[in-house]
A and B are shown apart, each in its own frame.
Chain A
Amino acid sequence: MVSTEPDRAPGATRAPALEMRGITKRYPGVVANDDISLQVRPGEIHALLGENGAGKTTLMNILYGLARPDEGEILIDGSPVRISGPTDAIARGISMVHQHFMLVPVMTVAENILLGEEPMANAVFLDRRAAHERIRELGRRFGFELDPDATVGALSVGWQQRVEILKALYRNARVLVLDEPTAVLTPQETREIFTVLRQLSRELGTAIIFISHKLYEVLEIADRITVIRRGSVVAERLPSETDEDDLAALMVGRDVQLVVDRGTSSPGEPCLEVRGLHATNDRGREALRGVDFEIRAGEILGVAGVAGNGQEELVEAIVGLRQPTGGSVTLDGRDVTRASTREMTNLGVGYVPADRHRFGLVLGFNVADNLVLTDYYRAPYSRGILRNDAAIEGRGREAIDEYDIRTPSARVTAGTLSGGNQQKLIVAREFAGDRRLLVLDQPTRGLDVGSIEFIHRRAIAKRDAGTAILLVSAELDEVLEMSDRIAVMYRGQIVAIVDGRTADRNEVGILMATGARQEGSVVGGKEGEAPDPTTPRRDDE
């Protein structure tokens, strides 16, 4: 999987395309960047690695002119420059691809690329033809031909990112900054973007800063890796002299178990039984087509599958947010097929939703209120029709301690917490008390390694205490590492259930992509496809 060419030594003798020297930035009460120095040579892919909140984004905002450093200087091609805003940065050849794309979805590819840089044929009219020609040519050169007239909103996320990169190329970027570019991509798209980046650095000599907290990606793509922790540079490494464990320890400041020891499980009685479950998606199409499985108490069942194969609908049907159109769900022998969310909560079901901002939290409420969001109505948090504020506050303080939620107090609004701490808050709430069943949908999406380890440990502890756990994750590795058994979902059905400890990554990947163990023997859906474990397939798009 790793294909970095060792002979591509970055031009060590040339002056750095970009140098940041002794950058310090203080915000009230916190030093976001503490004397950070960074050199990126032309043609080098330089990874900036750090946990959420380590100061990567601040540093890049300084580079892009969005923030002013208190100390330090920026040099481009060896000469000091002052960057007072993004326009300045762009003029000096610095381009940034943000995590959330800065594209206008209703405009075409060409219009987006030309925004702010409109080529004028004369005083009034745009010179569209020349611009389109150049966009086509740039795309062709890097192996992804984009139709300049395509509407950006209609493109997939992966292609939208290419538009962003094209935008940078169009502006002759010499330094290209990518802020967590792979967070929204499928593994396949990630691989394709990596190819483009390598080509860019090799052929155009673009200096690339690649921000990420995914260790294996950084090891694969980077020529050099700078690790930042709490606003300071803690190490600079070459990929050849380090590994994931080393990088994780540097990032977090202690040894991290990237793969939590799942130990042995001792499953008891069946807890959740799902039989022939059918459900439709929001557009009224059949999303679940007869799903069968059971989870026993003290067991983790992982659901692997390419996104959009019915996982979301399965989870919602189980927790009571979506009415099944057929089949049954049984919890501890009780029929809960049509139970509401509230009834499921009362029966001891905890649910960590995939979208924590949309479902899991009320960002404007404080931490304590969010900690009782799903059981505010029962004792001790309520007395009759009244809230018991003392109990709610007490619960807040207790959970902050127990789950190590980093917050000044329980009265701070949840929206001010970092992503990892927001997720810990949700986990603290849903793991509380005696749970019979926990439904974890993408429980660690977008989190740093420290938080992932923490949540995995808690889940294992919950399992050992006898809770049945349904784990749905787009990260195949997470499913492989955590599950006692793995159910592979394909087009609304479970096409196979394999043992989690002996499962073969490749085999599961093929099952995810084709719904069949080998080519030919199709289990569900139509004809088998070429076995590519990572191509996203959606039925209805």
Chain B
Amino acid sequence: MSNFFSFLRRTRASSDPDGTPWQTALILPVAAIVMAVLIGSFFVYIAAWIKNGTLVLEQPLKAYGALVSGSLLSFDAVVGTLVFTAPLVFGGLAVALGFKAGLFNIGVTGQLLMGVLAAVAVGVALSDQPTIIAAPVAFLAGTLAGAAMGFIPGYLKARTGAHEVVTTIMLNYVAGNILAAFVAGPLRVPRAPAPVTFDVGNAALPILFGTTGHVGLIIAVLAAVAVGWLLQRTTLGFEIRTAGANPDAARYAGMRPRVIIPLTMAMSGALAGMAGAGELLGVIHKTQTSYTTSVGFDAIAVALLARSNPIAVLPAALLFGAMRAGAGPMQVIASTPRELVDVLQGVILLVLVALPVLARALGRGGGATPAEAPTVTASYAGGGESLS
């Protein structure tokens, strides 16, 4: 047992991306994607067979072809992909930053919803003001709301030891209901048939390219650079990485987990809040009581695929964004259910988390263990800090 735990500790500690050459770092994500495509083909066949009762050999090619053309092969398709990518970048960064500190933030959904709520509330209030004022203030409001929502589990962990996986999951429900209550209550358009908020008007993020390419895309890229800078170049980033890689050594070195954990969770929540604010101000402009999003969980896959490297979050989010953008066209052109995309994501996640553990168990030490796998598996086991 202690051997197993020390294994967890070792892999967690030795997986700092600075240590592994990028070629090695690429093996696992590429393997995950290839396996997802292969296993996805199987489900394409099944779907086609259920629907038509016949097996067409080239059906997967057709489906994947439609997926690619629907997401990448025209200007509009590319812009659509980027719009799907932006919240995944923010969300992926939120999860990645948490992983770096040894924290598993499953609460991106809740933090994002609070970002949506604050952005719509402030956006509607400022909808008549000039965009140059309204949009940044509304975006900032969403960011701060996300930060506040992320701070809560961080504070609880630092003060009471409550595990962030448990508290963030619970807070996801809290956030969903707070949003619904506000949309059905103070933010509701009077006498509207169903609860819905006003449009944010001038607070909407400006469109930069195509019909939907809003400025949030640029902010997402800047955020990735900023998180990378924070982690690699600042002393705070060094503290975050140390706390994540070896909490005992962090304590020994005089770093204060009681400060680092809530601070990191607040920053993680701020990034998630940006995802929500970006969606609301850049894409939907108003919301109903039941705003649902898969970004919170896709973000975990993005962070894992990027091995928590903030810059690598960009291509990883792009991949998932493209799949989301291409899912609709695929369903229309190839009559493959759009849920295939969920299958692909699921397989990628499974391979990323399970394969390194499996490889170790079989005694082949792969250098490409993602930093997060131990954090994730430890969280599932209810362990976390107590392991070290």
| Given known A-B contacts A321-B251, A340-B254, A373-B253, A362 and B242 have beta carbons under 8 A apart | yes
- Chain A residue with minimal CB distance to B255? A342
Indicate with 1 or 0, residue by residue over A384-398, a CB within 8 angstroms of chain B CB atoms.
011101000000000
Q: Is A374 an interface residue (CB 8 A)?
A: yes
- A273 CB to closest chain B CB, in angstroms? 22
- A298 CB to closest chain B CB, in angstroms? 26
| Given known A-B contacts A340-B254, A364-B16, A387 and B242 have beta carbons under 8 A apart | no
Q: Is B238 an interface residue (CB 8 A)?
A: yes
CB <8 Å contact, B14 and A363: yes
Which of B3, B235, B237, B251 has the most A CB atoms < 10 Å from its CB? B235
CB <8 Å contact, B1 and A362: no
Docked CA distance A153–B2 (Å): 10
Which of B2, B19, B233, B237 has the most A CB atoms < 10 Å from its CB? B19
Number of A-B contacts (CB under 8 A): 87
Chain A residues positioned under 8 Å from B253 (CB to CB): 341, 373-374, 376
| Given known A-B contacts A358-B388, A359-B252, A386-B234, A364 and B14 have beta carbons under 8 A apart | yes
Chain B residues positioned under 8 Å from A399 (CB to CB): none
CB <8 Å contact, A364 and B19: yes
Chain B residues positioned under 8 Å from A342 (CB to CB): 254
Q: Is A533 an interface residue (CB 8 A)?
A: no
Number of interface residues of A (CB under 8 A): 35
Chain B residues positioned under 8 Å from A377 (CB to CB): 235
Number of interface residues of B (CB under 8 A): 28
Chain A residues positioned under 8 Å from B251 (CB to CB): 321, 341, 359
- Chain B residue with minimal CB distance to A356? B249
Indicate with 1 or 0, residue by residue over A322-346, a CB within 8 angstroms of chain B CB atoms.
0000000000000000001110110
Indicate with 1 or 0, residue by residue over B14-37, a CB within 8 angstroms of chain A CB atoms.
111011000000000000000000
Chain B residues positioned under 8 Å from A363 (CB to CB): 10, 13-14, 245-246
CB <8 Å contact, B16 and A413: yes
| Choice from A106, A358, A376, A413 contacting B238 with Cβ under 8 Å | A376
| Given known A-B contacts A359-B249, A363-B246, A413 and B235 have beta carbons under 8 A apart | no
CB <8 Å contact, B1 and A153: yes
Q: Is A158 an interface residue (CB 8 A)?
A: no
- A116 CB to closest chain B CB, in angstroms? 15
Docked CA distance A499–B166 (Å): 56
CB <8 Å contact, A366 and B254: no
Docked CA distance A387–B253 (Å): 16
CB <8 Å contact, A386 and B235: yes
| Given known A-B contacts A340-B254, A415-B10, A365 and B242 have beta carbons under 8 A apart | yes
A-B contact pairs, 18 of them (CB 8 A): A153-B1, A321-B251, A341-B251, A345-B254, A351-B252, A358-B248, A358-B388, A359-B249, A359-B251, A363-B10, A365-B16, A365-B241, A373-B249, A373-B253, A374-B252, A376-B235, A376-B253, A387-B237
- 3 closest cross-chain pairs (CB), A and B: A342-B254, A364-B16, A341-B254
